[in-house]
Chains A and B, each alone.
Chain A
Amino acid sequence: MNRIVKFYHEMGSPPSFYRITQHWLMPMLLLALGLTAYGLIEGLFFAPKDYQQGDSYRIIFVHVPAAWMSMFIYAIIGICGIITFVWRMKVAEAVMMASVPIGALFTAVTLLTGMLWGKPMWGTYWDWDARMTSQLILLFLYIGVAGMYAAYEEDPRKAARLAALVAIIGLVNLPIIRYSVYWWTSIHQTSSITLTGGSEGIHSWDMLRPLLVMALATKFYYIYSMLTRAHTYLLKTEAKKQWVAQAVSKKSGAKP
Chain B
Amino acid sequence: MMPFWALFKRDVLVAWRRKANVYQPLVFQLLIVTMFPLGLGAGAATLTKIAPAVVWILALLSTLITLENIFKDDYEDGSLAVYALSGMNLPLAVISKAAAHWCTTGIPVILFAPVIGMLLHLPTHAYAVLLLSLTIATPIFSLLGTVGSALIMNIKSGGMLLSVLIMPLLAPVLIFGAGAVLETALSNSASTHLMLLSGSLVLCLTLAPLAAAAAIKINLE
Contacts and interface: CB of A to CB of B under 8 A. Distances in A.
B145 to A, nearest CB: 13
A143 B39 CA distance: 31
A144 B164 contact: yes
Interface of A is mostly: helix
Interface string B127-147: 000000000000000000001
Contacts of A151: 152, 155, 158, 161
A114 interface: no
B175 A181 contact: yes
B221 interface: yes
A169 B211 contact: yes
Contacts of B24: none
A148 B161 contact: yes
A137 B171 contact: yes
Nearest to A168: B211
A165 B218 contact: yes
Q: How large is the interface on A (under 10, 10 to 19, 20 to 34, 35 or more residues)?
A: 20 to 34
Interface of B is mostly: helix
Interface stretch (A12-20, A43-51, A170-178, A187-195): A170-178
B169 interface: yes
Contact of B171 (A147, A165, A172, A181): A181
B207 A172 contact: yes
Interface in B155-199: 155, 158, 161, 164-165, 167-169, 171-172, 175-176, 179, 196
Which of A85, A141, A168 has the most B CB atoms < 10 Å from its CB? A141
A85 B211 CA distance: 12
A137 B168 contact: yes
A144 B168 contact: yes
Contact of A162 (B168, B200, B207, B215): B215
Given A147-B164, A183-B175, A173 B169 contact: yes
Contacts of A180: 171-172, 175-176, 196
A72 interface: no
A152 interface: yes
A143 B171 contact: no
Given A162-B215, A165-B214, A180-B175, A147 B147 contact: no
Nearest to B221: A158
Nearest to A158: B218
12 contacts: A137-B167, A140-B164, A144-B164, A147-B165, A148-B165, A151-B152, A158-B221, A162-B215, A165-B151, A166-B165, A177-B171, A180-B196
Interface of B: 147, 151-152, 154-155, 158, 161, 164-165, 167-169, 171-172, 175-176, 179, 196, 200, 203, 207, 211, 214-215, 218-219, 221
